[in-house]
Amino acid sequence: MSEERGVWLYAVAREAGGGGQRGVAGEAVRTVAAGGLVAVVGDVPLDAFGEQALHRNLEDLDWLGAVARAHDAVIGAVARTGPVVPIRLATVYHDDDGVRGVLEERAEEFGRTLDRVAGRTEWGVKAFVDVPPPVPRTEEAPSRRGAGAAYLARRRAERDTQAEAERLAVEQAGKVHFRLTGLATAARTHPPQSRELSGHGGQMVLNAAYLVDDDRSRAFAEAVAACDQDSPAVRVQLTGPWPPYSFADWEDR
């Protein structure tokens, strides 16, 4: 008995690109055409990538990380050859007809997105505020009352210092976002990531994506570096270039 398989959708473009790539299941990536568009797909076993299996496997962070990297590698290869609409991880159809159906049904929407991202690249910018050091402890009087008053004063100073640092950081992050938005054709903010996910010891106060004309990428990177230098309350970090993940939102409609 042959293994039941589904069709994993990676990206949509106007022309095929990224040939020779291997996908999330090690499969050879191929294309499906309809509606004047091309879908980049791969055949995956449903015992690992079907709906029930995905619910189970997505809880395995090692498995999820490997699949996400493979998915991104295919999209990145396609993006290097021209405009692309990246598709959300774990979008699986029963067969090629299902893929053709979505291409035909959403051809106009895909076309608008491809026009919007053509000649542009997504860049990510994150801003962090470092946790301020504790207020130096002063000598306390030997009396219980004196020790208690000193403790309360120290705690108030720590809270005030933390609150002021966070206020300044949020204000600076807003200025950074305003400045960078002026250099981009589109911008979106995402929820801040936890310290564990970001890999940074500080608190994230800005997590934004910017769609930038390719001929302005250098100026944009220089502006991010300048923001980092000019914003003492925060550290500003540039990531990318990325395929336009944040600007291909057709799945959410």
Residue that terminates a domain, selected from 69, 93, 118: 118
The pLDDT confidence band at residue 15, using thresholds 50, 70 and 90, is confident
In the chain, the percentage of residues whose pLDDT exceeds 90 is 60
User: Rounded mean pLDDT of 15-38?
Assistant: 88
The pLDDT confidence band at residue 253, using thresholds 50, 70 and 90, is very low
Do 179 and 230 reside in the same domain of the chain?
yes
Do 168 and 239 reside in the same domain of the chain?
yes
Residue that terminates a domain, selected from 57, 90, 118: 118
User: What local confidence, expressed as pLDDT, does residue 46 receive?
Assistant: 92
Do 126 and 88 reside in the same domain of the chain?
no
**pTM score of the predicted model:** 0.78
Whether the predicted pLDDT of 57 surpasses 80: yes
Residue 88 belongs to what domain range?
Answer: 5-118
Condensed to tens digits (0 to 9), the pLDDT of residues 130-183 reads: 755 444 555 555 555 566 666 666 666 656 555 665 667 788 889 999 999 999
Do 130 and 219 reside in the same domain of the chain?
yes
Condensed to tens digits (0 to 9), the pLDDT of residues 83-115 reads: 999 999 999 999 999 999 999 999 999 999 999
The domain that contains 165 carries what CATH number? 3.30.70
What single-letter amino acid sits at 36?
A: G
Tell me if 118 sits within 8 A of 233, measured CB to CB. Answer: no
Whether the predicted pLDDT of 68 surpasses 50: yes
The pLDDT confidence band at residue 252, using thresholds 50, 70 and 90, is very low
Whether the predicted pLDDT of 55 surpasses 70: yes
Do 105 and 139 reside in the same domain of the chain?
no
User: What local confidence, expressed as pLDDT, does residue 129 receive?
Assistant: 86
Do 95 and 153 reside in the same domain of the chain?
no
Do 96 and 218 reside in the same domain of the chain?
no
Do 112 and 125 reside in the same domain of the chain?
no
Q: How many domains does the chain have?
A: 2
Do 138 and 186 reside in the same domain of the chain?
yes
Do 149 and 240 reside in the same domain of the chain?
yes
Do 236 and 143 reside in the same domain of the chain?
yes
Residue that terminates a domain, selected from 73, 99, 118: 118
- If DSSP states are collapsed to H, E and C, what string results for 121-153? EEEEEEEEECCCCCCCCCCCCCCHHHHHHHHHH
Q: What is the CA radius of gyration of the chain?
A: 24
The pLDDT confidence band at residue 35, using thresholds 50, 70 and 90, is very high
DSSP, residue by residue, 6-72: EEEEEEEESS---TT-B-TTSPBPEEEEETTEEEEEEEEEHHHHSHHHHHHHTT-HHHHHHHHHHHH
